[in-house]
């Protein structure tokens, strides 16, 4: 049985893995090569210094500043039932939160540095802002437990919606509708709303912390389940570090928990310095500055297409080809009709003067004035010319 996760460990309890519950001791543990499979768990607090408010900080948090949206209660903006009735407040807010206008923080770059050093097992984030990707952490290392703005789809039939059209809708504060005309459901970014299921990738990886040798929790109030239980999945003797403005969850209840109750950016700088990585960290972060050559990002994978979508695409392609060929056919038809008309006119003209040429063209030796009639089996669309 594990120890009581709700009680803070007392100062007399000796750590099991670290020399002491201090940042220096934790840094030594890392430098000694004992932390090779680090799990990082993050929340809105790692993005506040980028300019994105968190939810729950009093005064500055998002929930404290939503009066302008006239919501019945602050959380309604992310509630799927409320969204069905009134999607406008979400789209008003989405314009402010949409990725593209914020620079990753040095805390995001710290996670990238852990990856560069081959030490990052997985990042579990509750954030929807995609700043981890912007910082260069590869997609396959990130579990976006609450989804993100990276993809969008219909809330009813899940039909994917193109990114560029979503960007335009966000810009216009308009509410996009499903492109499947039979559905016409509301479209939203694949952010997990209250009342929606977490992504399958979260459930698939939720026990991964058991395999870690260090857990770093940053910028989260650990108040949203099931994410909040992740740190408990770490082994009893696995060191856990909390970098946050306040003590949260069960962090501090175990013998190898280290608490750094301060600003995330300041905290990661201290840890990096203690590990001898500060310069590298600053360099990694400087790559995210506006105007710097962008970090190579892996393409966000488009959702896999269903059989019906593939079929619809194939039908569209075929329709386009048929239309193109019909258009060609039509042009050819017009050209030939003109051509024959001209010829017919010339023949008529010649007939009046040189009947022998006419006989050559019809191939019959006849002097019939109805030449086009002879061509009708080849060009059936040519109307029979009236016999002059």
Other beta carbons within 10 Å of 132 = 28
Instruction: Report the distance separating Cα 140 and Cα 198, nearest Å.
Output: 17
Catalytically annotated residue among 108, 115, 146, 377: 146
What's the closest the beta carbon of residue 47 comes to ligand CNA, in angstroms? 4
Nearer to ligand CNA, 61 or 138 (CB): 61
Nearer to ligand CNA, 153 or 221 (CB): 221
- How crowded is the C-beta side of 156, counted as CA atoms within 13 Å? 12
DSSP assignment letter at 149: E
Q: Are the CB atoms for 147 and 189 separated by under 8 Å?
A: yes
Helices 23-31 and 264-275 meet at what angle, rounded to 10? 50
Nearer to ligand CNA, 43 or 87 (CB): 43
What's the closest the beta carbon of residue 215 comes to ligand CNA, in angstroms? 16
Instruction: Report the distance separating Cα 180 and Cα 347, nearest Å.
Output: 57
Is 146 catalytic? The answer is: yes
Task: Pick out the residues of the known binding site for NAD(+).
Answer: 44-48, 54-56, 126-129, 220-221, 244-246, 264
In a 3-state reduction of DSSP, which class is residue 181? coil
Looking up tokens 């990002």 gives: 297
Task: Pick out the residues of the known binding site.
Answer: 44-48, 54-56, 126-129, 154, 157, 178, 183, 220-221, 244-246, 264
Task: Give the residue among 109, 129, 132, 110 at the shortest CA–CA distance from 62.
Answer: 129
Per CB under 6 A, residues contacting ligand CNA are: 43-45, 47-49, 52, 54-57, 61-62, 126-129, 146, 219-221, 223-224, 244-246, 248, 263-264
Task: Pick out the residues of the known binding site for Zn(2+).
Answer: 154, 157, 178, 183
Alpha helices (runs of H) in 98-199, residue ranges in sequence order:
106-116, 131-135, 163-172
Nearer to ligand CNA, 146 or 385 (CB): 146
What's the closest the beta carbon of residue 45 comes to ligand CNA, in angstroms? 2
Residues labelled catalytic: 146
């Amino acid at each position: 049985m594990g120890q009581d996760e709700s009680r803070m460990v007392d100062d007399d309890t000796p750590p099991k893995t670290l020399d002491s519950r201090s940042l220096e001791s934790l840094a030594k543990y890392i430098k000694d090569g004992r932390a090779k499979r680090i799990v990082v768990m993050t929340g809105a607090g790692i993005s506040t210094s980028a300019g994105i408010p968190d939810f729950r900080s009093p005064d500055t948090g998002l929930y404290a500043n939503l009066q302008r949206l006239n919501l019945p209660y602050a959380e309604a903006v992310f509630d799927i039932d409320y969204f069905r009735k009134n999607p406008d407040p979400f789209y008003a807010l989405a314009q402010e939160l949409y990725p593209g206008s914020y620079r990753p923080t040095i805390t995001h770059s710290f996670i990238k540095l852990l990856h560069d050093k081959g030490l990052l097992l997985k990042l579990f984030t509750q954030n929807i802002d995609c700043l981890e990707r912007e910082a260069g952490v590869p997609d396959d290392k990130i579990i976006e437990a609450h989804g993100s703005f990276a993809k969008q789809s219909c809330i009813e039939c899940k039909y994917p919606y193109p990114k560029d059209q979503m960007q335009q809708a966000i810009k216009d504060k308009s509410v996009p509708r499903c492109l499947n005309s039979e559905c016409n459901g509301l479209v939203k970014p694949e952010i997990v709303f209250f009342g929606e299921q977490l992504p399958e990738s979260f459930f698939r990886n939720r026990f991964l912390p058991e395999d870690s040798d260090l857990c770093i929790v940053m910028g989260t109030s650990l108040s949203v389940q099931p994410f909040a239980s992740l740190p408990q999945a770490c082994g009893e003797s696995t060191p856990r570090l909390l970098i946050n403005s306040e003590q949260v969850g069960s962090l501090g209840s175990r013998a190898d928990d280290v608490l750094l109750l301060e600003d995330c950016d300041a905290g990661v700088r201290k840890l990096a310095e203690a590990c001898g990585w500060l310069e590298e960290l600053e360099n990694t972060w400087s790559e995210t500055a506006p105007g710097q050559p962008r970090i190579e990002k892996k393409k966000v994978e488009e959702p896999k297409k269903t059989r019906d979508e593939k079929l619809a695409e194939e039908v569209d392609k075929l329709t386009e080809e048929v239309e193109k060929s019909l258009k060609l056919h039509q042009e050819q038809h017009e050209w030939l009709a003109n051509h024959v008309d001209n010829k017919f006119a010339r023949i008529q003209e010649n007939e009046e003067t040189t009947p022998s040429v006419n006989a050559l063209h019809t191939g019959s030796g006849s002097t019939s004035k109805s030449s086009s009639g002879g061509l009708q089996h080849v060009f059936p669309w040519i109307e029979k010319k009236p016999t002059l």
